[in-house]
């Protein structure tokens, strides 16, 4: 089965991000395909490379980046939600006249069309978070 995953919550607000990661790992282990993970609303905060949680907490952004690297999972951050929350890749930062970017490795910024495409391509879309 081919899945698209939608993550709507940030990494430290609820367990949605952790649950999505666990679901994806289990699905991959069982031989399923993850077509795309789309981060929307506060879920875009999963893609920042500037988070510095306390030493006794996990850095979930690194776990997402590792998932993308190890399994080729497409991690897409909604551009409109990202801009509202100050997340920029290098191209968008330049376009906006900003001098820095903060997207973690393995993530990319794109529009809602990527979510629609994921919904069309996948057999199922699974949503994590409100």
Local confidence pLDDT in tens for the 130 residues of the chain: 999 999 999 998 889 999 999 999 999 999 999 999 999 999 999 999 998 888 888 889 999 999 999 999 999 999 999 999 999 999 999 999 999 999 999 999 999 999 999 999 999 999 999 8
How far is residue 58 from each of residues 2, 52, 94, 116, 127, measured CA to CA in Å?
Answer: 28, 10, 31, 31, 22
What pLDDT score was predicted for residue 13? 84
pTM score of the predicted model:
0.95
Exactly one of 78, 79, 81, 87 is catalytic; which is it?
78
What pLDDT score was predicted for residue 59? 86
Structural domains in the chain, CATH included, are 2-128 (3.40.1260.10)
* Residues linked to residue 7 through DSSP beta bridges, in sequence order: 39, 128
* Residues linked to residue 38 through DSSP beta bridges, in sequence order: 6, 76
Question: For residue 53, what is the DSSP state?
Answer: -
Question: Does the annotation count 78 as an active-site position?
Answer: yes
What pLDDT score was predicted for residue 128? 98
As given in the structure block, the two tokens for residue 39 are 């981060």
What pLDDT score was predicted for residue 51? 87
């Amino acid at each position: 089965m081919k899945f698209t995953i939608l993550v709507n919550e940030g990494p430290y607000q609820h367990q949605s991000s952790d649950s999505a990661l666990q679901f994806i790992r289990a699905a991959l282990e069982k031989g399923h395909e993850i077509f795309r993970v789309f981060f929307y609303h506060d879920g875009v905060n999963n893609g920042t490379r500037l988070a510095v949680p306390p030493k006794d907490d996990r850095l979930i952004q690194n776990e997402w980046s590792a998932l993308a690297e190890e399994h080729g999972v497409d991690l897409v951050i909604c551009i409109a939600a990202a801009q509202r929350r100050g997340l920029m890749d290098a191209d968008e930062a330049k376009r906006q006249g900003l001098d820095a970017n903060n997207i973690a490795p393995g993530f990319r910024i794109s529009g809602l069309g990527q979510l629609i495409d994921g919904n069309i391509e996948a057999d199922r879309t699974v949503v994590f978070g409100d």
